[in-house]
Structures are given as structure tokens and as C-alpha cells.
Chains A and B, each alone.
Chain A
Amino acid sequence: NAGVTQTPKFRVLKTGQSMTLLCAQDMNHEYMYWYRQDPGMGLRLIHYSVGEGTTAKGEVPDGYNVSRLKKQNFLLGLESAAPSQTSVYFCASNTVRAGAFFGQGTRLTVV
């Protein structure tokens, strides 16, 4: 039982490049989330999904897009990376009104 798996774990991008972060969960959870964590800012919600084929904006959605084509996968896309998107990104999943399981994070640097 792998839980929540994020790929890649590390990535360096040049400004303007695009990339996709993949989150996979094997617990049949309905809800999935993408957060970013910056020093002193805690975790901020980027986008989330309450089920296959659905997505919604969180607190800081600008510059990101997401897709949930399969229940077990939640993709986060950066269309044109900016230095302000340098951060650690976490994916999480849970069922309704239950504790969430987190991935190990993706450390992204945009230069």
C-alpha cells in the first residue's frame, strides 16, 4: 500500500518552462488536494478535487492548472514557470470529513 505518491521529488525549471507534477493515491479517496509550502506561510491550497472529472480553485490558483481524469491521479501543471513558483508542493487525499494522507513533496526551483 503506497498511499500518496508524488513525482518528481525534485525539479529545476527555467523561467517560462512548463511542467506537470503527478500525484497518485491508491486508497480510493474521493478528495485530492495540491498545496504549496513556503517559509513562514504554512500550507496554502492551490487547487482541489472532490471527485473524478471535477476540480476547483483554492487560495492561490493563479499560474497553475489541474486535471483529475482518473480518480487515483491528480495532475498539477505549471504553464509558464516563474521564480515566485519556487516552493515545495504537496499532494494530499482523503475521504469526506476524514484525516488526509500526504505525499512526500516535490521541491521545485525556478531560475
Chain B
Amino acid sequence: SQQGEEDPQALSIQEGENATMNCSYKTSINNLQWYRQNSGRGLVHLILIRSNEREKHSGRLRVTLDTSKKSSSLLITASRAADTASYFCATENQAGTALIFGKGTTLSVSS
């Protein structure tokens, strides 16, 4: 079964608005990662947050991690049409040897 589950499955917003996606996971983690996938392309790593971190920023991206609730959120501020993509969270399996992905959130940003 998949470790991480993203919510919502789909999100449609206007350019300039903020987009928030959530990820819940089941077991304890060492880190949680977020990826972006443009249509028909491979995944691109966005940000990694370690279990002892609560918040991390990268440009317009802000990731939070709440290990007590086993959840993470990805916030994209001031969205652009180019942010249209699917976003996935990933955690390691229990052995810490493989990355397991959720089903993703499809973000559509219209101009």
C-alpha cells in the first residue's frame, strides 16, 4: 500500500492565487519529499524536509511537516500558469531503502 496520500486530488486556481496541497503518511519517516511532474515528463525533485524540521522554504515554495499528525503541506505562493503540473509527496519505505510515492495532486493554474 502507498505510504503517502495527497489531498486534494485536483486543484484549479487563478494566476496569482496561492495553492496548498497536503500529504498524509502512515509510518514514521526520516524525511518527506515533494516532486513536480509536467505532463508527459519525468518527475522533478522540489524540496526535502527532514523529520526534525518543521518548515522549509525554496523560492515560492513553502513546505511544512507535522510529525505528530503524520502530515505535510506544500504551499505555492503567487501561482503562475507554468506551475500547472502534478505534485507528489514521497517517503521512504520502512527499511529506508526505497522511495514510495502517493497518487499526486493535479494543479491547474489559469491565466
Asked whether A43 and B88 contact (CB < 8 A) given A56-B97, A94-B99, the answer is: yes
B96 to A: closest C-beta gap in Å: 8
Q: Is the CB of A42 within 8 A of B42?
A: no
Q: How many residues of B contact A (CB 8 A)?
A: 25
Q: Is the CB of A102 within 8 A of B103?
A: no
Binds B, one of A11-19, A33-41, A63-71, A75-83: A33-41
Considering only residues 11-49 of chain B, those with a C-beta below 8 Å from chain A are 30-31, 33, 35, 40-45, 48
A102 to B101, CA, bound (A): 13
A94 to B: closest C-beta gap in Å: 7
Q: Does A98 contact B (CB under 8 A)?
A: yes
Q: Is the CB of A50 within 8 A of B88?
A: no
Q: Is the CB of B99 within 8 A of A92?
A: yes
Q: Is the CB of A43 within 8 A of B98?
A: no
A105 to B44, CA, bound (A): 12
Q: Is the CB of A35 within 8 A of B101?
A: yes
Q: Is the CB of A42 within 8 A of B97?
A: no
Which residue of B30, B42, B90, B100 contacts A59 across the interface (Cβ within 8 Å)?
B100
Beyond A42-B102, A43-B43, A99-B48: 9 further Cβ-contacts under 8 Å?
Answer: A43-B88, A45-B100, A48-B97, A58-B98, A59-B1, A97-B31, A97-B96, A100-B43, A102-B42
20 A–B contacts, CB within 8 A, in A order:
A4-B42, A31-B98, A33-B98, A42-B101, A42-B103, A43-B88, A45-B99, A45-B100, A45-B101, A48-B98, A56-B98, A58-B98, A59-B100, A92-B99, A96-B96, A97-B30, A97-B31, A97-B96, A105-B40, A105-B41
Residues of B within 8 A of A (CB): 1-2, 30-31, 33, 35, 40-45, 48, 88, 90, 92, 96-104
